[in-house]
Amino acid sequence: MSGKKRNRQRVNRQRAAALAARDAKRKAARRRVILIGGGAVAVLVIVFGIVLTRGGGDDKTKLDTTKSTSKVAEGTTTTAPALPSAAGKPCVAMTDPLPAGAPAVPVEVGPPPTQLIKKDLKEGTGAVVGATDTVTANYIGVSCSTGKIFDASYSRGQPASFALNQVIKGWTDGLPGMKVGGQRLLGIPADQAYGAEGRPPSIAPNEALWFVVEITATKPA
């Protein structure tokens, strides 16, 4: 074999080796890209999964909170502590200081009223209150078993207006016949007030109530 032929063969082998090495490097580079890309996807999937899991937990908490709020709105649950029933407890004298301008409430100390009590403390001289009138009145209310004031228009500095067919039965039945300018004591049994449910947090279940009501105006329905 001539020297020229051997040289050509050697050059061809070197070129082939160089091409093979270059192809190997390219394949290795492609494998690295695939591995890195696959790892990044895996990391993203894991991170996204964690975020979804945490997000799911937050959404569940919010959903539970919404349900709880709905229950409160529907009156099936309440955050206020339950008050003990006042059933059978005697009435005690008023214990709270009077708001400015409010009359004393002469609670009848002893067994709670079982029938509506109506006593005129001051006779009015104006129009007579009808059974379905809308009246304007100042009032102060006291719980029988505690002697505490639970509401008073005098604390707000102005009378309240209300239709007699939209209030507790003790007022619906207890105020007609009064005259404007008059004051009346009402002793209201629990079943004519807020009954077994009461009105938390100020009025216990089965609580009898005492009021002094002063009529300042009345308007027929």
User: Rounded CA gap, 167 and 145, in Å?
Assistant: 22
Q: Which residues contact 209 (CB under 8 A, 6 or more apart)?
A: 141, 142, 143, 144, 150, 170, 186, 187, 188, 190, 193, 194, 203
User: Rounded CA gap, 96 and 140, in Å?
Assistant: 11
User: Rounded CA gap, 40 and 220, in Å?
Assistant: 80
Catalytically annotated residues: 139, 150-151, 168, 194, 211
Q: Which residues contact 84 (CB under 8 A, 6 or more apart)?
A: 204, 205
Tell me the CA end-to-end span of the chain in Å, nearest whole number. 132
